[in-house]
Amino acid sequence: MPSEPRAWPLRPGAAWLDIAWGVFAAGNLVATLVIPDWETVPFHFIWVSLTILYGFRVWRTGPTLLVLGMVMATTGVTLYTDYRRGAQPPDELTEIPLMAAMFAAMVWHARRRLVAMRQIEQVSEANRRLLERQRLFVQDASHELRTPITVALGHAELLLRSTTGALGDDARVVVEELLRLRRLSDRLLLLATVEDPEFLRRTRVEIEPILVETLRRWATVPRRWRLGPVVEAEVEADVDRLALAIDALVENAVKHTTESQPIELSAHRRQGMVAVCVADGGTGVRAEDVSRLFDRFARGGTGEREGLGLGLAIVKAVAEAHGGTVQVWTRDGGGSRFELLLPVAEASVPEPSPSVAPSRRPNSAPVGP
């Protein structure tokens, strides 16, 4: 059970409020006795102001009962005095228990709300600590996995270069799986550190060289690679993180295309943003998968092994870390178009004319991450 509020009136910086109310209440008691024509107006002022004060202070149970008893006694004596003088009818005395009951009901609700809020705070704090422990575990595990993966990959590559036949095929499988495991480790580490203040190391970079370098890295994969229109623009970005996000989009396109299908990289301006586009003519994404496409460990497509489920989550994390976003246009069986939107660096090249348009866009609506 959450602890009680601090003892009244010792809450730092708020005792003056209690003192001010006490002066106000005493003044209204005097007014009730001195100005009979006011009837019970000052009496109601005392109870209403007490209710408002309690809403700000929420005293402990003991002080609350003490104040309630004092107000009932003083207002009761005052009204009884007025009754004895003939200034008040006797039925006015019934208002004292009525106002006290209303105040007690308000106290009960206020304390229930206070307890509920503290329970919510405790749960939130527990969840925060749990998430922090999970983040640290993933970060530490990813670091620890790097060394054995690198060592095993080096030996597997040596075996691949020195063997042929069935043994060579087995070595190739080992290398591919170790590379896949290393990508998983790197991506888990990236997602675990995405909220780190030093997650990005921004520099002013041009978009076109990044896209050209991306095509060079992926040129060995048999696809119909194309470099579409690329706007001349600069962004404030972490080159390594940005390249990793674009690679994840290209990797996703490769998974959903065959050797004869195209994959195009391009970039254009849109409302002060640079949209880095990766479009493919592959299988597309099913409509029911689009809403969770950028969730961690989510997989789209119809194959048995569409991937690790972290690639597009990394794209979203990198985009948001740069102050941007990611969008997708897709049709099941009709290809996909992913756009990584990044803010244009200040004093960059002016926007081109609207003639620079996307090369292809499926006929479905854009869906945000």
In a 3-state reduction of DSSP, which class is residue 15? helix
- The DSSP annotation for 184-252 comes to HHHHHHHHHTTTSTTS---EEEEHHHHHHHHHHHHTTS-SEEEEEEE---EEEE-HHHHHHHHHHHHHH
Q: Which of 151, 141, 218, 217 is nearest to 178 (CA)?
A: 151
Q: What burial letters (b/e) apply to 303-319, b meaning 16+ CB within 10 Å?
A: eeebbbbbbbbbbbbbb
Domains observed in the chain: 1-193 (no CATH), 203-343 (3.30.565.10)
This prediction has a pTM of 0.55
Question: How crowded is residue 232: how many other Cβ atoms within 10 Å of its Cβ?
Answer: 13
Q: Using DSSP bridges, classify how beta strands 234-237 and 273-280 pair: parallel, antiparallel or unpaired.
A: unpaired
Handedness of CA 242, 244, 250, 255 (dihedral sign): negative
Residue matched to tokens 């209440």: 25
Region class of 318: left (phi > 0), else alpha (psi between -120 and 50), else beta: alpha
Walking along the chain (369 residues) 10 residues at a time, the average pLDDT comes out as 45 68 82 72 81 76 80 81 74 79 81 85 87 73 77 86 82 85 77 70 91 92 92 89 90 90 93 91 81 69 50 87 90 86 74 44 38
What's the pLDDT at 357?
41
Listed in sequence order, the DSSP H helices in 228-348 are 239-255, 287-290, 311-321
What would the two tokens of residue 333 be?
């069986």
In a 3-state reduction of DSSP, which class is residue 164? coil
Query: Distance (Å, rounded) from C-alpha 337 to C-alpha 275?
Result: 11
What's the pLDDT at 228?
92
Q: What burial letters (b/e) apply to 239-270, b meaning 16+ CB within 10 Å?
A: eebbbbbbbbbbbbbbbbbeeebbbbbbbbbe
In a 3-state reduction of DSSP, which class is residue 307? coil
Q: Which of 216, 244, 223, 196 is nearest to 340 (CA)?
A: 244
What's the pLDDT at 224?
93
In a 3-state reduction of DSSP, which class is residue 310? coil
What are the φ and ψ backbone dihedral angles of 319, each rounded to 5 degrees?
Answer: -60, -45
Do residues 283 and 301 make contact, with C-beta atoms less than 8 angstroms apart? yes
> Cβ neighbours of residue 237 under 8 Å, at least 6 residues apart?
200, 202, 203, 205, 322, 342
What's the pLDDT at 302?
40
Q: What burial letters (b/e) apply to 167-189, b meaning 16+ CB within 10 Å?
A: eeeebeebbeebeebbbbbbbbb
How distant is the alpha carbon of residue 298 from its chain centre?
18
Do residues 183 and 288 make contact, with C-beta atoms less than 8 angstroms apart? no
Query: Distance (Å, rounded) from C-alpha 293 to C-alpha 367?
Result: 10
What's the pLDDT at 60?
77
